[in-house]
Structure 1
Amino acid sequence: MKIIRTYSRLAKEAASLLGKEIQLARKERVWSEQTLAERIGISRTTLQKMEAGDMTVAIGLVLEAAVILGIPLFASETPSLTQSIRSASDKLTLMPKRIRNKTKKVKDDF
């Protein structure tokens, strides 16, 4: 049975934009779909889905395509990606390691 997922409008638009940027960069380099697909290590069909903004394509493949084509992934406002990763890691250090759902119902009927 196929699971049908719903995605927010913003997520769909982001996937579509990144797909179009991948397609544009590929065409600017005058690479065929087959050439880029081989460089990424995927089928041409998967690349076509990626360029169409299909949400079922694995994020790792999309990011790999963007890196191969030299597409900037994050805003250049931050000094470097390494610093952004370090900052996020520092913030995560302050967060609890585990989040548990409360299973006990509190009896407040006095």
Structure 2
Amino acid sequence: MARSTSVRTYSRYSLQALSLLGALLRAARIERKLGAAPLAERVGISRDMLYRIEKGDPRCEIGVVFELAAILGVPLFEPELGALQQRSREVEDRLALLPRAVHAPRGEVKDDF
């Protein structure tokens, strides 16, 4: 039985953002004089995975990328934990005002009696 393989595509914006994040992580690693192997071991990934993250590979696990950023001190949203927690509360308050689910429109309403 033939297996269907689909290739995931990413927007130019996403690829550029991933490339920028990877470069920021690599620069932070080099500035801190951290070798790839010891850092990868600390994060719990292979050196190859670290290099893929630094090159902006979109298939890398987001949790690993965030952990790497935290270890290297590269802020993703807010530079300090307190500010990040405040921002999280603001978004949670906003979400509390929005509907829990989004449903597709049911179709056109015919109101021409």
Whether these two folds match at TM > 0.5 is yes
Could you tell me which residue of structure 2 aligns to residue 22 of structure 1?
25
Could you tell me which residue of structure 1 aligns to residue 99 of structure 2?
96
CA displacement, residues 13-53 of structure 1 (integer Å, 9 cap, x when unaligned): 11101101111111111111111111111111111100000
Could you tell me which residue of structure 2 aligns to residue 34 of structure 1?
37
Q: Is the alpha carbon distance of 1:107 and 1:60 closer, same or farther for their aligned partners in structure 2, counting shifts above 3 Å?
A: same
SS of residue in 2 equivalent to 1:14: helix
Counterparts of 2:49 and 2:12, CA distance in 1 = 22
Counterparts of 2:93 and 2:71, CA distance in 1 = 29
Query: Contact 2:78 / 2:84 at 8 angstroms: preserved in 1?
Result: no
Query: Contact 2:43 / 2:68 at 8 angstroms: preserved in 1?
Result: yes
TM-score calculated relative to the size of structure 2: 0.83
Unaligned runs of 5+ residues in structure 2 are none
Could you tell me which residue of structure 2 aligns to residue 46 of structure 1?
49
Q: Spell out structure 1 runs of 4+ moving beyond 3 A.
A: 104-110
Could you tell me which residue of structure 2 aligns to residue 55 of structure 1?
58
Say which of 5, 8, 12 aligns to 1:5. Answer: 8
Counterparts of 1:91 and 1:61, CA distance in 2 = 28
Query: Contact 2:26 / 2:54 at 8 angstroms: preserved in 1?
Result: yes
- Cα drift, residue 8 of structure 1: 1.5
SS of residue in 2 equivalent to 1:101: coil
Q: Is the alpha carbon distance of 1:68 and 1:2 closer, same or farther for their aligned partners in structure 2, counting shifts above 3 Å?
A: farther
Instruction: Report the number of matched residues.
Output: 107
